[in-house]
């Protein structure tokens, strides 16, 4: 057999969670053989000492194109993706124009086809007025509802407008769950503060819990497929442990597992995000919920803003931080420290995501699956440095930390998109499919 790409001597993560040292034969976009092979190939990679994982599927990113390209665009963001071992992403609708119509979705798909190194999918955003588009805009990975922390048309925060969205259709609804009315009250109560640490007090745990409970209530009313984005609080995790229907999924970000309110002293508004960073107790309670399966998978909420914008100071500084470049290494560093296993990280960042969003042929290393892969080095540690950042925003919240599990090779549909520290900017991903 002659194939396009052969990976030799890799420690391959098998679908059952075990590792097998061997080869992987890839022909064009597809894995054709796993384990021993006598195939010859156009190109052979020697992966001695490296671990082969399915490429990361990041199910919540903000890539800013169109309209906010001074922060990021689909090309720079996708370069950052492949540096981080991310081979597919699901992108959010708060761009300009908002992704709330078929035309806006088509425009994003065209842009991504022309410039994204990674595979791509997009959410359609809910407003109080676009119920028909929410059912028909295609292909969409789901409907995004901002129940809080958003201005303008994408904010849908009252039950009278939320109810018909949950009542109509069957598509996955992904919610940013924060109670905007409570946040508005608390903004008034704490008006005048310039201390960014107050962000976590103003947009408190109660605001997150109220909205999560409302989303679960509406999901139960209509048995509607619900996904809760970036769970941030221990009290939400404890509530969901007792009240999580089996058609509901939940995600957490690496930063909500790793960073806490003590870090404001050093990082200031670089770690200002929505929902906010919480306490060390929340970090640990979220970890336990992830390990126990209350939380299903991981997303970065990659939300880049420029350093100039962040320098405006609280409360004028925008919320959000980049994540795709470091998420896999952050999680594999936790695995190396004994918090979890490498196989669990891969499940949370790839397999479980493909399953939840019904993305066919991705998230596992097996014959017939798409050749979206990452070879990581778990033997060495390397510091996160600003000068290495590929995201257009030019900074990363984990700068200064020493991480392991960095991508050495990232492969998108059989094409080597990142190798030895460099992107192959000619590589293009494809639109993701979402089975019914
Ligand atoms: O911190 C955040 N920033 N949270 C969001 O939900 C939106 C995001 C952004 O787009 O900047």
Is 153 buried (19+), middle (13-18) or exposed (0-12) by CB count in 10 A? middle
88 lines ligand 1 (CB under 6 A): no
User: For the chain, how many residues are written?
Assistant: 436
Site to substitute for ligand 1 among 61, 70, 94, most atoms within 8 A of C-beta: 94
Is 224 near ligand 1, meaning CB less than 6 Å away? no
Give the pLDDT score at 36. Answer: 78
| Structural tokens at position 114 | 């022309």
Q: Whole-prediction pTM value?
A: 0.98
Instruction: Answer for the pair 24, 34: CB distance below 8 angstroms, yes or no.
Output: yes
Residue nearest to atom 4 of ligand 1 (CA): 274
Report whether residue 320 contacts ligand 1, using a CB cutoff of 6 Å.
Answer: yes
Pocket test for ligand 1, best of 320, 323, 393 (most atoms within 8 A of CB): 320
> So what's the pLDDT on residue 118?
99
Give the mutation target among 60, 62, 123 for probing the ligand 1 site: most ligand atoms within 8 A of CB.
62
Structure confidence by residue, pLDDT tens digits, 137-158: 999 999 999 999 988 999 999 9
What CATH architecture is 2-52+366-380+403-420?
Answer: Roll (2.30)
- pLDDT tens-digit readout, 303-362: 999 999 999 999 999 999 999 999 999 999 999 999 999 999 999 999 999 999 999 999
Q: What are the residue boundaries of the structural domains of the chain, listed by start?
A: 2-52+366-380+403-420, 55-356
The yes-or-no verdict on residue 16 having pLDDT over 90 is yes
Cβ(95) – ligand 1 distance below 6 Å: no
pLDDT at 37: 83
- Distance of CA 20 from the midpoint of ligand 1 (Å): 40
pLDDT at 420 over 90: no
Question: Does the pLDDT value for residue 215 go beyond 90?
Answer: yes
Q: How much distance in Å is there from the Cα of 320 to the middle of ligand 1?
A: 5
For 103, the 3-state DSSP assignment is helix
Residue nearest to atom 10 of ligand 1 (CA): 303
Alpha carbons 349 and 253: distance in angstroms, whole number:
10
Taking 90 as the threshold, does the pLDDT of residue 301 lie above it? Answer: yes
CA 171 to chain centre: 19
**pLDDT at residue 38 tops 90:** no
Q: Cα(302) to centroid of ligand 1, in Å? A: 8
With respect to CATH, is domain 55-356 assigned 3.20.20.140? yes
Q: Does residue 149's CB lie within 6 angstroms of at least one atom of ligand 1?
A: yes
Is-contact 56 85, C-beta < 8 A? yes
Cα R_g (the chain), whole angstroms: 21
Rounded distance between C-alpha atoms, residue 361 and residue 355, angstroms? 10
* Per-residue model confidence (pLDDT) at position 186: 98
**Quick one: which atom of ligand 1 is closest to the CA of 304?**
11
- Identify the CA nearest to 410 among candidates 399, 423, 428: 423
What is the 62 CA–ligand 1 centroid distance (Å)?
Answer: 7
Active-site annotation, residues? 301
């Amino acid at each position: 057999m002659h194939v396009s790409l052969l990976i030799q001597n890799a420690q391959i993560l098998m679908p059952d969670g075990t590792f097998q040292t061997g080869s992987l034969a890839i022909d064009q976009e597809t894995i054709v053989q796993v384990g021993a092979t006598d195939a010859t190939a156009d190109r052979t990679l020697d992966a001695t000492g490296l671990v082969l994982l399915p490429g990361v599927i990041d199910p919540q990113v903000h890539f800013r194109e169109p309209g906010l390209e001074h922060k990021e665009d689909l090309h720079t963001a996708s370069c950052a993706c492949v540096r981080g071992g991310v081979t597919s992403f699901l992108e959010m609708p708060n761009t300009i124009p908002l992704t709330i119509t078929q035309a806006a979705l088509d425009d994003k798909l065209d842009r991504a086809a022309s410039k994204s190194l990674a595979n791509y999918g997009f959410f359609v955003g809910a407003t109080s007025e676009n119920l028909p588009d929410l059912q028909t805009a295609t292909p969409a990975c789901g409907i995004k509802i901002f129940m809080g922390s958003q201005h303008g048309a994408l904010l849908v925060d009252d039950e009278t407008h939320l109810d018909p969205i949950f009542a109509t259709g069957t598509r996955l609804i992904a919610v940013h769950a924060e109670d905007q009315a409570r946040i508005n009250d608390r903004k008034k109560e704490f008006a005048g503060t310039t201390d960014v640490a107050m962000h976590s007090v103003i947009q408190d745990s109660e605001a997150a819990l109220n909205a999560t409970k409302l989303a679960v209530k509406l999901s139960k009313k209509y048995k509607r497929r619900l996904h809760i984005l970036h769970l941030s609080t221990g009290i939400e995790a404890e509530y969901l442990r007792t009240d999580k229907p089996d058609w509901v999924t939940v995600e957490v970000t690496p930063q909500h597992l790793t960073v806490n309110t003590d870090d404001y002293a050093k990082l200031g508004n670089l770690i200002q995000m929505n929902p906010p960073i919480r306490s060390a107790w929340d970090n640990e309670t979220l970890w336990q919920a992830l390990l126990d399966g209350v939380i299903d998978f991981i997303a970065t909420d990659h939300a880049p803003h420029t350093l100039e914008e962040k320098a405006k100071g609280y409360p004028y500084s925008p919320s959000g931080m980049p994540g795709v470049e470091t998420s896999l290494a952050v999680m594999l560093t936790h695995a190396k420290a004994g918090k979890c296993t490498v196989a669990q990280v891969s499940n949370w960042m790839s397999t479980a995501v493909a399953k939840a969003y019904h993305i066919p042929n991705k998230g596992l290393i097996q014959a017939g699956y798409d050749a979206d892969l990452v070879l990581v080095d778990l033997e060495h540690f390397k510091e996160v440095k600003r000068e290495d950042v590929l995201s257009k925003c030019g900074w990363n919240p984990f700068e200064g930390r020493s991480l392991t599990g960095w991508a050495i090779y990232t492969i998108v549909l059989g094409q080597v998109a990142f190798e030895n520290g460099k992107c192959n900017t000619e590589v293009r991903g494809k639109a993701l499919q979402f089975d019914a």
